[in-house]
Amino acid sequence: MTRSQRMHGALVALLALQLGGCAAPGAPLPGPQAGDGAQAHGWRFEATPAWRDEFDGQGRPDPARWSYDLGGDGWGNRELQAYTDRAGNAWVADGVLTITARREPAGGRDYSSARLVSRGKGDFLYGRVEARAKLPSGRGTWPAIWMLPTDAAYGGWPASGEIDIMEHVGYDPGRVHMSVHTRAYNHRIGTQKTATHPVPGAMSGFHRYRVDWTPDAVRGYIDDVPVLAFANERGGADAWPFDRRFHLLLNLAVGGDWGGKEGIDAGAFPATMEVDYVRVYRLIGR
């Protein structure tokens, strides 16, 4: 066995450990196999999701896949909502998860919303992560599909990293942001790595938001169009903390340092983000 074959076998074994036990029941689904960049960079992904939520039921989000972050302390960004586990803020029906931000008293705040997390129920090291979503409209809305470290091996934010698969602020409609945050690269010191892409109809229809996360890079795509490329510089964890497990978050914030930069249109609420599916595909290797 060659050295490259041994390394490939070790990588596959590691991925199996990280994703083991996460496979959801049901018929296999075809993976997004567009010739879009990850293939060109030599990495391959399985065709069937190892972890997914198709939101096919009715009622509260599946507790086997999702928990809630709760409270209204501003979440580090001076946001205005309190996150709840109320059905009125997160509900599944007709094949879609709907997260709703409402103008109403909640947890000492004037707005309520929901923040779903897969921590402890869907934790991943490398892979292709894709969600199909329709975004809210209205000044003051700030929806996000993103990932945070499960174990925070390198310390508190931003040292252990953050991967933003989709962010959108309502005062700048139709422009979607994809970002990574690390100790070396983050907005607090003016070094954040962000890419912005126009998405006509982002608030009137569903679009696919995805990252291909490998040991070499985090690459972001919208409807298979390459948007973000953040390479592993091989300089250590300050620049690349993305060699540890991460989990998913789905949330709709109100206001905050970025989302509320141009004020809040109270008439825009209730506002909703709809998510058709979330799928995670194992990284196979080169």
Is residue 30 domain-resident?
Answer: no
Is residue 70 domain-resident?
Answer: yes
Is residue 64 domain-resident?
Answer: yes
Is residue 132 domain-resident?
Answer: yes
The pLDDT assigned to 38 comes to 54
Closest CA to 99 of 154, 142, 57: 142
Average pLDDT over residues 183-200: 96
CA angle 251, 255, 257 (to 5 degrees): 105
Is residue 17 domain-resident?
Answer: yes
CA 133 – CA 276 distance, rounded (Å):
6
Stated pTM of the model: 0.87
CATH of the domain at 223: 2.60.120.200
Give the distance, in angstroms, between the CA of residue 181 and the centroid of all CA atoms in the same chain. 13
For residues 235 and 118, is the Cβ–Cβ distance under 8 A? no
Domain ranges, residue 69: 3-23+35-285
Structurally, how many domains does the chain consist of? 1
Is residue 108 domain-resident?
Answer: yes
The CA–CA distances, whole Å, from 284 to 19, 133, 210, 246, 271 equal 12, 26, 17, 18, 39
Is residue 28 domain-resident?
Answer: no
Considering the candidates 162, 233, 262, 274, report the single residue annotated as catalytic. Answer: 162
Tokens coding 83: 């996150």
Q: At which residue do the structure tokens 């540890």 appear?
A: 244
CA angle 94, 100, 105 (to 5 degrees): 145
Is residue 97 domain-resident?
Answer: yes
The pLDDT assigned to 39 comes to 60
Considering the candidates 167, 233, 262, 274, report the single residue annotated as catalytic. Answer: 167
Per-residue pLDDT tens digits for 114-136: 999 999 999 999 999 999 999 99
Beta bridge partners of 201: none
CA 258 – CA 36 distance, rounded (Å):
31
Q: Is 167 a catalytic residue?
A: yes
Per-residue pLDDT tens digits for 142-167: 999 999 999 999 999 999 999 999 99
